[in-house]
Chain A
Amino acid sequence: MGKKLLIHNDKVPNIHTLEVYRAHGGYASVEKALKTMTPDQIIDEVKKSGLRGRGGAGFPTGLKWSFLAKPPGVERYLVCNADESEPGTFKDRYLMEVIPHALIEGMITSSYALGAKTSYIYIRGEYFYVARILEAAIKEAYAAGWLGKNILGTDFSHDCYVQVGGGAYICGEETGLLESLEGKRGNPRIKPPFPAVAGLWGCPTVVNNVETIAAVVPIVNEGGEAYAKIGIGKSTGTKLISASGHINKPGTYEIELGIPVEEFIYSDEYCGGIRNGKKMKAVVAGGSSVPILPTELILKTAKGEPRLMTYESLADGGFQTGTMLGSGGFIVMDEDTSIVKNLFTFTRFYHHESCGQCSPCREGTGWMEKILKKFMNGTANESDVELLWDIQSKIEGKTICPLGEAAAWPVAAAIRHFKHEFLEIARNKKFVDVSHYNRLNKVTA
């Protein structure tokens, strides 16, 4: 069993209540931080821990925190990104639903480190019921004095609020999120200025993912060095992985960074292997945006080394033969799956979610969806593969926010590794959905 720091108590009955959470050591990091540490000491521990943003980008959290501007007399804010919308990702939902206080505790400790008197948890609107759970936890925390004025008798006061969104993937992009939190359309802002200088209402703001903020709790409790001892190289600590697709045991798993991909997929501790005795065909390892890899490349790097669940190992070989850890949205596909059809669902998603600000993304995502639809109804030509390649290459790097890349990369990777599937459909003028029988079996069970 690997070490768990975030969801080790997820099976404890009533762990969502303050009483049970506290009985299992909850809120110790707030006590330690407020009574024995200065804000800068906490930032140092986070830097030492090597913690990297768990939303997908993997940017070092301590460094992000150190960029926060601190002009005198100006409010600073901590905003939690709970807009989890990357297809394949549901780990934050699990954490918030099962152990809401783990996030609240992280919010308080992190806000103390950043000097934020107010923090907001921006949660996707579809997770409305999870927002209710968080609000109930916040209410308990206020009643017990963990939130509000003069926490633990110190001069640190803090208010934490939840805001629900309205349903838009783009609000997971931090500046789109801030726009939405200000009550506007979620159109991402041009950077710079970065939120650390001008974020919420123009004030210095740190935006962190749910899991990142929750990870600050064990880092403060046990020290940054202890956290950094878990994992390999620059991939320190533990990571929540959302596992889905054709596996025996879909769900949220906390892994020590560095375990082999093969172990994660086939061991009974995690995914438990491929369903129905099928063989694996491909994996999307870090949410829909990251390049899909065929079995041979997800299990081993191009050099023949075992692929590990780390930022570096998954990226080994660049996009030619590698991928990214991303958000940890791990989608496994069996041998019968049509890669083209799966890509169609991704591209339809990005077209639906493009905010429309930048022409390459607004027009490109719709165009790619239209072409992929031709593959679905058997009217595509071989030249459409080249056209798809051409369009995706003209979106990447030409948009305000990374949604452009997110939409382009899956198209590029599917063509790079599974071009024959596109050509077969185009040549036969027919799309055969081999996996339909299996899916039908599942829903008629």
Chain B
Amino acid sequence: MGAEVHGTQEFDKKKRAEIKFSDAAMAEVNEIISHYPTEKIKSSLLPVLHIAQAEFGGWLSPETMDYVASVLKIKPIEVFEVASFYTMYHLKPVGKCVFEVCQTSSCWLNGAEDIVKYIEKKLNIKVGETTRDGMFTLKTAECLGSCGTAPMLQCGASYHENLTYAKVDSLIEKYKNENRLRSYTDKDYQNTL
């Protein structure tokens, strides 16, 4: 794996050598692997990539993908072709909190566009950008299955529903104060159903 696979991103051998799952993460990975027949270990790739993304800075660097390939004993290209297919894997660095605002039909009917504009103004970034302090990334998302509680945004494992400007304000305030990486794998999701 190298530059030819990842375009302009350089493969850093030194960085690669430092990547290793913590014991807790490795235990989770092993649990996932045990769900499949031994020779079908590749099936664990999607969930393991989620753990890797949470463990190594919120995105999947070429070095991280190379490491995951070595853990699952598959080729690095098999990891890359999956990571690049699915929208939840970030192939570039993102902020600690990624706001994914749903914009499809029911969310649009209920003001998703205004929520996006409000966040853009408040954080002084455009969709796709990250704040200078590395705290927030703003993205739009396609239907997240929250149509009855629109508009909504997802941040890590949490669904924030029936959004208003006031709710967005308090959410940003809260996340700023907590100042930590929010991942899909977080166990302290906020259930707002």
Report if A and B associate in a common complex: yes
Chain B residues closer than 8 Å to A372, beta-carbon distance: none
Q: How far is B40's CA from A338's CA once the two chains are assembled, in angstroms? A: 49
Residue B159 at the A interface, CB < 8 A?
A: yes
Q: Which residue of A lies closest to B86 (CB)?
A: A166
Q: How far is B189's CA from A127's CA once the two chains are assembled, in angstroms? A: 11
Could you say which of B130-138, B139-147, B170-178 contacts chain A?
A: B139-147
Chain A nearest CB, measured from B44 CB (Å)? 7
Q: How far is B86's CA from A355's CA once the two chains are assembled, in angstroms? A: 10
Q: Which of A87, A163, A183, A353 contacts B106 (CB 8 A)?
A: A87
Does B118 lie within 8 Å of A443, measured CB to CB? yes
Does A345 lie within 8 Å of B193, measured CB to CB? no
Does B43 lie within 8 Å of A445, measured CB to CB? no
Interface 1/0 per residue, A2-24 and B, CB below 8 Å: 00000000000000000000000
Q: Which residue of B lies closest to A181 (CB)?
A: B43
A interface, over-half SS = mixed
Residue B5 at the A interface, CB < 8 A?
A: no
Does A333 lie within 8 Å of B193, measured CB to CB? no
Q: Which residue of A lies closest to B39 (CB)?
A: A201
Q: Which residue of B lies closest to A182 (CB)?
A: B43
Q: Which of A331, A352, A353, A444 contacts B165 (CB 8 A)?
A: A444
Q: How far is B142's CA from A85's CA once the two chains are assembled, in angstroms? A: 9
Chain A nearest CB, measured from B99 CB (Å)? 14
Which of B78, B88, B187 has the most chain A CB atoms inside 10 A of its CB? B88
Take A183-B43, A331-B105, A439-B109 as given contacts and tell me if A84 and B145 are in contact as well, using a CB distance cutoff of 8 Å. yes
How many interface contacts (CB-CB < 8 Å) are there between A and B?
Answer: 179
Does B88 lie within 8 Å of A125, measured CB to CB? yes
Residue A429 at the B interface, CB < 8 A?
A: no
Interface 1/0 per residue, A86-101 and B, CB below 8 Å: 1111100110011000
Chain A residues closer than 8 Å to B88, beta-carbon distance: 125-126, 166-167
Chain B residues closer than 8 Å to A349, beta-carbon distance: 104-105, 142-143
Q: Which of B104-157 contact A (CB under 8 A)?
A: 104-106, 108-111, 113-115, 118, 141-151, 154, 157
Chain A nearest CB, measured from B128 CB (Å)? 14
Does A163 lie within 8 Å of B42, measured CB to CB? no
Take A88-B105, A166-B88, A185-B81 as given contacts and tell me if A129 and B158 are in contact as well, using a CB distance cutoff of 8 Å. yes
Take A183-B42, A201-B37, A245-B109 as given contacts and tell me if A128 and B145 are in contact as well, using a CB distance cutoff of 8 Å. no
Does B157 lie within 8 Å of A129, measured CB to CB? yes
Q: Which of A125, A252, A346, A440 contacts B184 (CB 8 A)?
A: A125
Residue A364 at the B interface, CB < 8 A?
A: no
Chain A residues closer than 8 Å to B46, beta-carbon distance: 125, 163-166, 180, 183
Does A251 lie within 8 Å of B43, measured CB to CB? no
5 interchain residue pairs of minimum CB distance = A166-B86, A183-B45, A167-B88, A244-B147, A129-B189
Interface of A with B (CB < 8 Å)?
A: 84-90, 93-94, 97-98, 120, 124-129, 132, 161, 163-169, 180-186, 201, 242-246, 250-252, 284, 288, 329, 331, 333, 337, 341-342, 345-346, 348-349, 352-353, 355, 435, 439-440, 442-445
15 contacts between A and B (CB under 8 A): A85-B143, A88-B105, A126-B145, A166-B88, A168-B86, A180-B46, A183-B43, A184-B42, A184-B82, A185-B82, A244-B150, A345-B103, A345-B108, A349-B104, A443-B115
